[in-house]
Amino acid sequence: MTIALSILATIATLFAGWRAMRRTRFFLHIFQLETYKFDRYGRWLADHLSTVVRLSHAVGAGLLGLAAVGFAYSPSDWIAVGLLPLWALAFISSRRYRSDEEKKPLAFTARMTRLAVATGVVAVLPVVLGAVYGWLRGDPSGFFWYLLGFLITDLGAPLWVALGASLTHPIETIIQEGFKRQARQHLADRPDLSVVGITGSYGKTSTKFIVAELLRQKYNVYATPSSYNTPMGLCLAVNEHLKPEHQVLVLEYGIRYPGDIDELCDIARPNLSVVTTIGVAHLETMGSIDAIADEKGKLVEYTTADGPTVLNADDDRVDAMAERANGPVWRISTEGNPEADITAQNIHYDTSGTSFSVTDDTGTTATFQTRLLGVHNVTNVLLAVAVGRSMGLRLRQMAHAAERIEPIEHRLQLRERGDVTIIDDAFNSNPVGARNAVDILGRMKDGRRVIVTPGMVEMGDRQWAENKTLGTHIADNDIDLAVLIGDEQTAAIREGLAESNYPDDRVKVFGSLFDAQDFLKQYLRSGDVVLYENDLPDQY
């Protein structure tokens, strides 16, 4: 019996330990996706209680309860022999914790490594205490306490992550302050460097790359990669990637909370500022659109004395920021604003890109041809042209450079997958951009047109209405098939579709993008066009 008991105990331990590690890793990933913020992590846990507490926990607790009753009357090996196989089955790891289905994998940065070690130390304590107490008892009931420790470790995985983060928080604060001091000193040592700061609810990243490409006609430019728009992202760019030969540094300033612009500008104060648009992105954390506009407008105020400010005059809240500028203001418009310095006319686009004519502050007009899609990208190009003009570039010089601009990855990026055309707009998550993308899809006439979307998030009280409007827009453009990801998440889109009399048989709802992809592999045929509109992170 002792040998059988040992084998069963080993098997049960492996199952329970493997599941506990996978759950802990899962919640570490969620904490990272929620940008290491305790409040965001707490809200996620509150909204996903069925993931925090699983049926297996209830089964495991029930089995231990039966074992406790049995041991109370007769501490027998037979109770442990009967308990252990059932326990192992209860804790077979579920698909919910599979790391191979992560769209944005857990990144084991130095910070995450420190957090994982601290979390692991805390998480293993219930198992150690249970094993020691069980061993001291010296009878078969010791298995009860040993497995109880595993149950607590598994159930408490979200808590262990929070405790680990609390333990490492003081260390992370010290490390981050050191990075900030280093970045400030590097910039202080470079008075010759021009810092271009870009903010806005939408279009920051695209505008950043366009600005960099145009300015390279005259300057040695470094622009931060992807969405390096957080304090540590700016520090990494300045401390690790900025070189002595760089003349211009183009930075992106993102916000989620009030005070974020203050923190970013404390690291890198811009010599020239650009504001793209104001919208409902991060409305949930900022509270109102006016609060978003006020926070974004701080970048204009922080711009160094006499430094230019470039504003999108087609957005009233952005245009109003001219009153907060310390230097000359450049306005751009695609809608014929008479006060604009840079304007666009004759806008045309198809699957090859967009063409339009630009008139600058001198009255010069030039034709621009770019592989970028959509009217909002014309706005982004005009913002970049205004930056270029303020820094001495000629309009026709920039028109030639615009032809070389590559589509930004996952932002209305055209790709071919066999005989199927893909419009990849996975990194777009705002209402204006989403409707613009649907308009573009609606103009494609060669094959069937398919949209794949999970909808939009972080828009507070406006989230339902904006997603419903997206559904209406899909119907108005007579898109051939709407593939929706997430039953609850896309309920508003389905309501918009239904109220627009969009046929039910042209709506497919899947639990995950992976399931939708499996369906599309069988459904798509030569000539079809698929728009991937937004791709929510794993925590959604």
pLDDT in tens, 439-467: 888 887 778 999 999 888 767 778 898 89
Better-scored residue on pLDDT, 49 or 97: 49
pLDDT band, residue 539 (cuts 50/70/90): very low
Q: Note the CATH architecture for domain 413-533.
A: Alpha-Beta Complex (3.90)
Q: Give the pLDDT confidence score for residue 71 in this predicted structure.
A: 59
Sorted by where each begins, the domain ranges of the chain are: 2-171, 190-402, 413-533
Which pTM value belongs to this model?
0.77
pLDDT of 80 > 60? The answer is: no
Percent of the chain with pLDDT over 70: 87
- Over the stretch 251-299, which tens digit does the pLDDT of each residue have? 999 998 899 999 999 999 999 999 999 987 777 788 889 999 999 999 9
- Side chain identity at residue 78, one-letter code: W
- Over the stretch 406-427, which tens digit does the pLDDT of each residue have? 887 777 787 888 888 888 888 7
Token pair 């098997």 is found at 11
Q: Give the pLDDT confidence score for residue 228 in this predicted structure.
A: 85
Cα dihedral 443, 530, 281, 307, rounded to 10, equals -70
pLDDT band, residue 69 (cuts 50/70/90): low
Better-scored residue on pLDDT, 356 or 66: 356
pLDDT band, residue 540 (cuts 50/70/90): very low
Identify which of 19-28, 278-287, 345-354 has the greatest average pLDDT: 19-28
Render 333-374 in DSSP notation, one character per residue: ESS--TT-SEEEEEEEEETTEEEEEEE-TTS-EEEEEES--S
CA–CA dist 62, 79 (Å, integer): 14
Contact 28, 161 (CB under 8 A): yes
Q: Give the pLDDT confidence score for residue 237 in this predicted structure.
A: 94
Q: Region 522-531: what's the mean pLDDT?
A: 90
Token pair 């430094």 is found at 307
- Dihedral angle sign, alpha carbons of residues 121, 127, 128, 130: positive
Lowest-confidence segment of 52-66, 145-159, 368-382, 492-506 by average pLDDT? 52-66
pLDDT of 41 > 80? The answer is: yes
CB atoms within 10 A of CB 405: 22
Q: Note the CATH architecture for domain 190-402.
A: 3-Layer(aba) Sandwich (3.40)
pLDDT of 1 > 50? The answer is: no
Q: Give the pLDDT confidence score for residue 2 in this predicted structure.
A: 61
- Over the stretch 99-134, which tens digit does the pLDDT of each residue have? 555 557 888 889 999 999 999 999 999 988 888 887
